Amino acid sequence: MENSSSIRIGISACLAGDKVRFDTGHKRSNFCMDELAQHVEYVKFCPEVAVGLPIPRPTIRQVKVGDTIKVCRPDGTGDVGPKLTQYGKKVATEHASSLSGFIFCAKSPSCGMERVKIYNEAGTGNTSEGVGFFAQQIMQHNPLLPCEENGRLNDPHLRENFVMRVYVFKSWQNLNLHSVGMHELTQFHAKHKYLVMAHNYESYRELGRYLAQASETPIEQVKQSYISGLMKALASPASRKNQTNTLAHLQGYFKNDLSKIEKQELCNAIDQYRQGLVPLYVPLTLLKHHLTVHPNEYLAQQVYFDPYPNELKLRFGI
């Protein structure tokens, strides 16, 4: 796991508790500021204030005028769409290598990741298919960057998945601070094997196969293909079925070390997890206990066991 103090995450300033909203309010996220903040450093952005809008200010929204979408007041005046786009490009470029994730304010015409309301010109109806102008630039220019919205972070599976991806991406960024050859890349993949298996078994096989056959490919091309494949594989929460399969694989390493009773206890814990009777941390805690008693160097390096600080208790709810 990475040195937590070095992890920097971009965040919509209102989620950090800053009173920057149109009504002088904020949308402080308890998870972000009371829990995750103990382990990461935030870089705050309020694109609307950054492009010159005052506090308080008239509300703005996305409005479709012909084929164009404006970000303006309900009466159609004061379009700041181009400024928000320009500011988004500036932030995306300047912070491309220093951020390991981004948390946006949901439904905002500037910061929403998805389902932002787009009104018709008459203001009589809307569709929820927009993307915030600022958020769109951040995601478009940094497609590998783990991004999430405050509302979705209330879902324990999405929350766990986002934090895990942030830590993996930071690990990748740290790796690339040094010269990376096939040896370093293969080592990196070896540490993340079971994490990938838990999310996407096919990707687990494909990534391993790709690295095994890539010795003649230019290393920069291999790196780009690999990290794209890895982040794509981790993009969605792991299913209970895939997690159970991964736990069973890990269990196999101890087949010659455990007593009959210990084997049965571990089997029961994995099966109870499979049935949804206990959370993931129950069989994982048992596996980690056996790993302590019966050390295995290969397993000990697996990111799957501790992808982020245990204090976050993210596996208690999945």
Number of separate helices (H) and strands (E) present in the chain: 12, 8
Please indicate, yes or no, whether the overall pTM of this predicted structure exceeds 0.75. Answer: yes
Average pLDDT over residues 143-171: 97
Query: Minimal CA–CA distance to 285: which of 257, 311, 306, 259?
Result: 306
Say whether pLDDT at 26 is over 60. Answer: yes
Q: What is the pLDDT of residue 4?
A: 47
Residue 136 has pLDDT above 70, yes or no: yes
- 300 confidence band (pLDDT: 50, 70, 90): very high
- Of the ranges 8-12, 83-87, 119-123, 312-316, which one carries the lowest mean pLDDT score? 119-123
Question: Which long-range CB contacts under 8 A does 151-158 form with residues at least 24 apart?
Answer: 151/106, 151/107, 152/106, 153/29, 153/31, 153/32, 153/103, 154/31, 156/314, 156/317, 156/318, 157/237, 157/317, 157/318, 158/237
Among 277, 281, 285, residue whose Cα is nearest residue 314? 281
pLDDT band at 114 (very low <50, low <70, confident <90, very high): very high
Rounded average pLDDT over 1-22:
87
Distance CA 119, CA 142 (A): 28
86-125 per-residue burial string, b: 16 or more CB within 10 A, e: under 16: ebbeebbeebeeebbbbbbbbbbbbbbbbebbbbeeeeee
Please, which pLDDT band fits residue 34 given cuts at 50, 70 and 90? very high
Vertex 314 angle, CA 313 and 316, to 5°? 70
Give the whole-angstrom CA distance, residue 192 versus residue 93. 28
Which helix (H) or strand (E) segment holds residue 246: the answer is helix 240-252
Q: Residue 1 — pLDDT band, cuts 50, 70, 90?
A: low
In this prediction, residues 187-202 reach a mean pLDDT of: 97
Q: Where are the domains of the chain?
A: 4-152, 157-233, 240-316
Report how far residue 162's alpha carbon sits from residue 235's, in angstroms, rounded to the nearest whole number.
8
Question: Residues of the chain with pLDDT > 90: what percent?
Answer: 94
- Looking at residues 165-172, what average pLDDT do you find? 98
Q: What is residue 3's predicted lDDT score, i.e. its pLDDT?
A: 52
Mean residue pLDDT of the chain comes to: 96
**Helix, strand, or coil here: 149?**
strand
